[in-house]
Amino acid sequence: MRRGGLPARHGRPATGVALGSLMACLLGPGSLSGQGVTASAHLDRGEVGVGQTFTLNVVLEGVQRFDQDPALPDMGGFAAFLSSGTQSSVRIVNGQTTVSLTVQYRFQATMEGTFEIGPVTVEAGGETLATEPLSLRVSSAPPPTPGAGGAPAGQPSDPGTIGPDDLFIVAEPDKRRVRENEPVIVEYRLFTRVNVSSYGVTRLPGTAGFWVEEFELPQQPEVEQIVRDEVAYATAVIRKVALYPTGPGTKTLEPLAIEAQVRVQRRSRDPFDDVFGGFFNRSSLFGDVVAAGAASRPVEIEVLPLPAEGRPADFTGLVGDLAVASSVDRDSLAANEAATLRVEVSGSGNLKALAPPEIAFPPTVEAFPPEVSDRLRTADSGVSGTRTWEYVLIPRAPGVLTIPGVDMGYYDAAEDRYEIASAAPVELRVTGRAVEDALPGARARGSVEALR
């Protein structure tokens, strides 16, 4: 393994705006030569692969500005918005001037299927116009790139085009069949044989059906050299999560999508450019930067329900392993003084989802709601650590008080059986005498902080 080679992550690409022609700016907005106002839309391609980009072009003819920004149809179910830009043009033919304005919306396909892109609503020239619907087919495998095959390592098959085998993302779960609330560790790994200068996540997978815990990754990804299908790739984990299914059934991990900036070398057909371009042309010396998209494919996880047989009455819902301990900060005190009961659970599993245990305190003890604190870490096996509840207790009468023990049931997936973690009861010796108006229910409950 070696470090370097892939860039640090960055946010969503900024919106770019192309400059219109100088003549169009001089002519100013408005309709020219009696030209009628029309609007149309078209795609730069009718079929793309998951992770590839496409452009929706909205063309306005007859005027050079919109009264309102175009209203696009909802495409969030199958595409992620990347950026937009505008281009304007002016044509003068036989003394007649015509103008047009084009807005280009760049998207990245994120879901397989055939989708209808509804009409784009345009307000311009005092009119409300609607474009015709369009159809887009998104395939699991991108359509073949012209000239594919035989590319050297580090370069795409076509120097100006990044092919599906040049840059892609794979979602790698550690298991595909689990019990409810059993962790699934998923790595999203980027594979590339081109020079990626930067990248940004354009779409994160949905979290429906899962409790999600993110792994903290280094800002600069750790890069490995891996041979996959007899091809050498640089690869790095760009996202890692622990997923806890919240219910049984087949769950789908949605795609994670990125847009990368890739530096490619362009070969000129002019031999003089090859000789002198490297000295005088920065683009030839360092290569051109092109945008390329990639997305992981959906992954199905089969989630089995927890068995009903043998389920303890005090089952917490946790799947993993658990230990519990109870203690008090003092074993004796005077009536109406405060003590702290500490209940600490340790182990692995979805500890953040653990509710405090139900404890039946003696009637002469006033108990305040617990404060919770966590010391958790994520590892290859999931989340582990401790969760602690601290109860402030105020005994209102003298005597020896027994604070009941704590039982917390959990499911051990490795052993395929239920277990119970238990903590023994603890005792408090209370001295002094009872104060009638201080018995539970006879006074308002005060602040916990004031009692500490």
- pLDDT of 406 reads 96
Residue 385 lies in a domain: yes
pLDDT at 196 over 80: yes
Is residue 24 in a domain?
yes
CATH number of 190's domain: 2.60.40
Q: pLDDT tens digits for 306-321?
A: 999 999 999 999 999 9
Non-local CB neighbours of 4 within 8 Å, separated by 6+ positions = 220, 223
CB of 322 within 8 A of CB of 349?
yes
Look at residue 185 and tell me if it is in a domain.
yes
Task: Return the number of other C-beta atoms located less than 10 Å from residue 44's C-beta.
Answer: 12
pTM: 0.70
**pLDDT, mean of residues 228-248:** 93
Q: How many helices (H) and strands (E) does the chain have?
A: 4, 34
Which range, 96-105, 134-143, 242-251, 279-288, is most confident? 242-251
CA distance 34 to 32: 5
**Same structural domain, 175 and 293:** yes
Query: Per-residue pLDDT averaged across 242-247, rounded?
Result: 94
Q: Which of 386, 316, 376, 380 minimizes the C-alpha distance to 347?
A: 386
Looking at the fold, whether 47 and 89 belong to one and the same domain comes out as yes
Of the listed ranges 34-43, 100-109, 271-280, 435-444, the one predicted with least confidence: 271-280
Least confident of 92-96, 114-118, 134-138, 316-320: 92-96
One domain, residues 40 and 130: yes
The predicted pLDDT at position 111 comes to 85
End position of a domain, from candidates 92, 120, 139: 139
- 47 and 125 belong to one structural domain: yes
Residues 284 and 240 in one domain: yes
151 found inside a domain: no
Residue carrying structure tokens 């622990």: 242
* The dihedral formed by the CA atoms of 75, 76, 79 and 80, expressed in degrees to the nearest 10: 120
- What pLDDT, on a 0 to 100 scale, did the predictor assign at position 147? 40
- Concatenating the DSSP letter of every residue in 209-253 gives TEEEEEPP--SSPEEEEEEETTEEEEEEEEEEEEEEESSSEEEEE
Q: Which residue did the predictor score with more confidence, 220 or 334?
A: 334
* Mean pLDDT on 11-27: 36
Enter the tokens of residue 272: 């003089």
pLDDT 10s digits, 293-305: 888 888 999 999 9
Based on the fold, state whether residues 337 and 374 are members of the same structural domain.
yes
Is residue 161 one of the residues assigned to a domain? no
Q: Given this model, what pLDDT does residue 77 score?
A: 87
Where b means 16+ CB within 10 Å and e means fewer, 247-286 reads: eeeebebbbbbbbbbbebeeeeeeeeeeeebeeeeeebee
- Assigned domain for 41 exists: yes
Last residue of a domain, one of 304, 324, 359: 304
pLDDT of residue 385: 96
On the question of pLDDT at 25 being above 70, the answer is no
CATH number at residue 424: 2.60.40.740
445 vs 408, more confident: 408
Residues composing the chain: 452
For residue 329, name the pLDDT band (cuts at 50, 70, 90).
very high
Where does a domain end: 304, 335, 352?
A: 304
CA separation (Å) from 444 to 109, 434, 439? 60, 17, 11
62 and 116 both lie in a single domain? yes
What confidence tens digit (pLDDT) does each residue in 202-236 have? 888 888 899 999 999 888 888 999 999 889 999 99
The reported pLDDT for the residue numbered 75 is 93
Query: Is 447 a member of any domain?
Result: no
Closest CA to 80 of 54, 110, 120: 110
Distances from the Cα of 13 to the Cα of 16, 258, 271, 384, 410, angstroms: 9, 10, 36, 36, 45
pLDDT over 70 percentage in the chain: 79
Mean pLDDT across the stretch 53-63?
A: 91
Higher pLDDT, 251 or 63: 251
Residues 257 and 356 in one domain: no
d(CA 150, CA 158): 10
CB neighbours of 194 closer than 8 A, spacing ≥ 6? 154, 155, 156, 162, 166, 167, 262, 263, 264, 292
Confidence of residue 179 (pLDDT cuts 50, 70, 90): very high
The pair of three-digit structure tokens given for residue 270, joined into one six-digit string: 């002019």
| Residue 24 or residue 59, greater confidence | 59
**Domain that includes residue 119, residue range:** 2-139
62-86: average pLDDT: 88
Q: Which residue has the higher pLDDT, 329 or 437?
A: 329
215 and 244 together in one domain: yes
6 and 134 together in one domain? yes
Give the closest residue to 389 by CA, choosing from 403, 419, 368, 404: 368
The pLDDT of residue 28 is above 50: no
**Whole-number mean pLDDT of the chain?**
81
Cβ–Cβ < 8 Å for 207, 186: no
Both 97 and 188 in one domain: the answer is no
382-427 tens-digit pLDDT: 899 999 999 999 999 999 999 999 999 999 999 999 999 999 999 9
Least confident of 122-136, 157-171, 203-217, 378-392: 157-171
Residue 149 falls inside a structural domain:
no
Q: How many domains does the chain contain in total?
A: 3
pLDDT at 140: 77
Assess whether 118 and 20 both reside in one domain. yes
The SS3 of residue 282 is helix
